[in-house]
Structure 1
Amino acid sequence: MHTTAVLALPDTIPFDLATPIETFGRVRLPDGRPGYRTVVAGPERTISAGPLRLTIDEGLDALQRADLIVVPGRENPLAPAPPAVLEALRAAAGRGTRIASICVGAFTLAEAGLLDGREATTHWLAADEFARTYPAVRLNPDVLYTDNGKILTSAGAVAGIDLCLHIVQNDYGTAVAADAARLAVAPLHRPGGQAQYIVRNRAPSRATALDQVVAWIEENAYRDLALADIAAAAGLSVRTLTRRFKDETGQSPMQWVAGVRLRQAQELLETTDHTVDRIAAQTGFPTTSNFRSQFGQVVGVPPGAYRKVFRPRTNRSAH
């Protein structure tokens, strides 16, 4: 039996805290014995977790006895973790203990220096902030989880279940993990990665000098647009337009157009029964094969697989 310690810090996200407790708690070996003993440990006797107040039975010394430590996310991932927690995580890593994070719990691992030089992931909404704060980490925001052997990270919320089931599979094999997945009413493996859940190229939430041309692109992305067309609509030279887009969005104008087309295609896959051929034409892709290629590269799954995830109860046309 493996002992898992779930680290409960102030302002822990309740879902993240419950994920390893519930997932590992459902693991049964072929002879009926539990596969994991799970404890909740923290630096304080009582912590807040969203609207909850939780009493913690184990102190940080429980991390010394754990085979696996799971670090949930916190409501404010940039809030400094208690020094004693960072020290305990570093000591555990030094002993070779496996340490995994759920969602923005990756910020805590990074703060402890455990992710430097390693591949890691976190919730896509926090990815830019994570990359700015911890440039030494090789962030991959497109995957559901990463496994560096002893250090593991997962993307947002439900990806924590994916990671926990991955750990179970590594520990006890596919049959035990599949049984735990069935009890959790979850797939053992989800197709694709986090990329398919990212919302792309929505208009900026604050007013910018590009508001007018961004709105124009939204309405005209289906057309065979060239950079000169966008510049003319903006009343700017190509050079000035390109500079402003780079400054305000970090992208070129044509990269922005591609993102708008992909998002509009995602929305059509989610809300209509249109064929992939029709959606490709409606959203401005030159050919269906070009659409399939770009969609697969950016979103991580083919259009048909994306539709099965986000529009599963419709009678779909051939695609």
Structure 2
Amino acid sequence: MRHVSVLAIPRALGSALTIPLEMLTAANDIARVYKQLDKICTLEIVTVGQLECRLTGNLNITCDKLISEVSKTDLIFIPAVWRNPRAALNAHPELVQWLDRQAQAGAILCAATTGAYFCAASGKLERAQATTHWRFFDEFEALFPDVDLQRKRFITYSNGIYCSGSVNAIRDIIVHLINDLYGDQIANEVAQHFMHELKDSHATELLQQSQEGSHHDERIIQIQEQLQSRFSEPTSMADIAYHFGMSVRTLNRRFKAATNKSPTEYLQSVRLGQAKGLLKDSNLNIAEIAHQVGYYDSSYFTELFTKAHGLNPKEYRRLVRNKLFRVNQGR
């Protein structure tokens, strides 16, 4: 049985632990439902020093083991550390040594933002690509000049080490890893529960992200997340600009610079992406789907969908369902 270690470090962000724990627990549960018991992984929270660990926000957790008790593991999630990752790195040299030993034995490392400090300190990122939280770019580069820091990427992979530029980006990595560990069917189900947008291929989408499509403008990231979470609601860009303390002109300029799309174009792509999922997986009619994704004129929705995908919604539904039918026939 494969072993996964979710690392707890004092002052780590709780979400950097709970996201992999929740997603991999869901993958285990789905594997049990499908009676694919050979795919189930052992999940343990491991730590340094003592089993009681206090995270950011005064969140206390009781860990399963100390790292000194884990001689072999297959996958390690290293969390982001709040405010001063350099101090955390200096406080735990034994953690760096343990990561080095595990990586040499074949473990995959997955670092959320400043967790990359520990990977870099192990020497495993020398002349390899990595990323971290944008606030720490300069410090990280000064500390680890031999690491090829990717300032314009949210996700990197080199030498068996995944790094992410935001805690949220860790979800994409986890779904990719679940695809490898559990297969595409379970990865798709986990993605439906934990992610806004479903990817066509978890195995390839993750590592094909262009540098032009990634950015580290935190305010624009917050706006993107709001548009993703409220895509079905009537949206005024003037209201969004006011809420985030900028003019509409500044919003459009910064959004375009960060994403190569205007806010309106981005919202449209989110809505149409959601519509594709509903056309594939639901029996709602076209007008109902249009309403579900924020369009109250089904003719306008059909026009946008056709322009974006070269097929109208009915044609797209027929095509993807025919493909699914053929795939299922072949199993």
Q: 1:196 to 1:133 in 2, by over 3 A?
A: closer
Correspondence for 2:81: 74
1:31 aligns to 2:35 (yes or no): yes
* Per-residue deviation, residues 129-164 of structure 1 (Å, max 9, x unmatched): 322322211111322311225111112111111111
1:299 aligns to 2:258 (yes or no): yes
Unaligned runs of 5+ in 1: 201-266, 273-278, 286-290
Q: Is the 8 Å Cα contact of residues 128 and 159 (structure 2) preserved in structure 1?
A: no
Q: Is the 8 Å Cα contact of residues 13 and 81 (structure 2) preserved in structure 1?
A: yes
The TM-score, its normalising length taken from structure 2, stands at 0.61
Deviates more, 1:7-16 or 1:299-308: 299-308
1:83 to 81, 93, 98: 93
Q: Is the 8 Å Cα contact of residues 120 and 140 (structure 1) preserved in structure 2?
A: yes
Correspondence for 2:14: 14
Q: Is the 8 Å Cα contact of residues 171 and 195 (structure 2) preserved in structure 1?
A: no
- The correspondence of residues 40-189 of structure 1 with structure 2, limited to 5 A, is 40-45=45-50, 46-50=52-56, 51-75=58-82, 76-79=84-87, 80-148=90-158, 150-189=160-199
| Structure (1 or 2) with the greater helix fraction | 2
Correspondence for 2:321: none
**Percent identical:** 23
| Helix, strand or coil at the partner of 1:78 | helix
Deviates more, 1:60-69 or 1:48-57: 60-69
Partner AA of 2:13 in structure 1: I
CA distance in 2, matches of 1:111, 1:149: 14
Partner AA of 1:41 in structure 2: V
Q: Is the 8 Å Cα contact of residues 141 and 194 (structure 1) preserved in structure 2?
A: no
Cα displacement (A) at 1:125:
2.6
Q: Is the 8 Å Cα contact of residues 118 and 138 (structure 1) preserved in structure 2?
A: yes
Which has the larger Rg?
A: 1
* CA RMSD between the two structures: 3.5
Q: Is the 8 Å Cα contact of residues 63 and 92 (structure 1) preserved in structure 2?
A: no
Cα displacement (A) at 1:314:
8.4
CA distance in 1, matches of 2:239, 2:270: 8
CA distance in 2, matches of 1:123, 1:313: 33
Cα displacement (A) at 1:2:
2.6
Q: Is the 8 Å Cα contact of residues 78 and 107 (structure 1) preserved in structure 2?
A: yes
Q: 1:87 to 1:178 in 2, by over 3 A?
A: same
Q: 1:308 to 1:179 in 2, by over 3 A?
A: same
The TM-score, its normalising length taken from structure 1, stands at 0.63
CA distance in 1, matches of 2:294, 2:133: 27
| Helix, strand or coil at the partner of 1:26 | helix
CA distance in 1, matches of 2:149, 2:40: 31
CA distance in 1, matches of 2:159, 2:123: 16
CA distance in 2, matches of 1:171, 1:67: 11
- The correspondence of residues 269-308 of structure 1 with structure 2, limited to 5 A, is 271=241, 298-303=257-262, 305-308=265-268
Unaligned runs of 5+ in 2: 200-205, 221-236, 243-247, 272-292, 309-331
Correspondence for 1:256: none
| Helix, strand or coil at the partner of 2:53 | strand
1:195 aligns to 2:215 (yes or no): yes
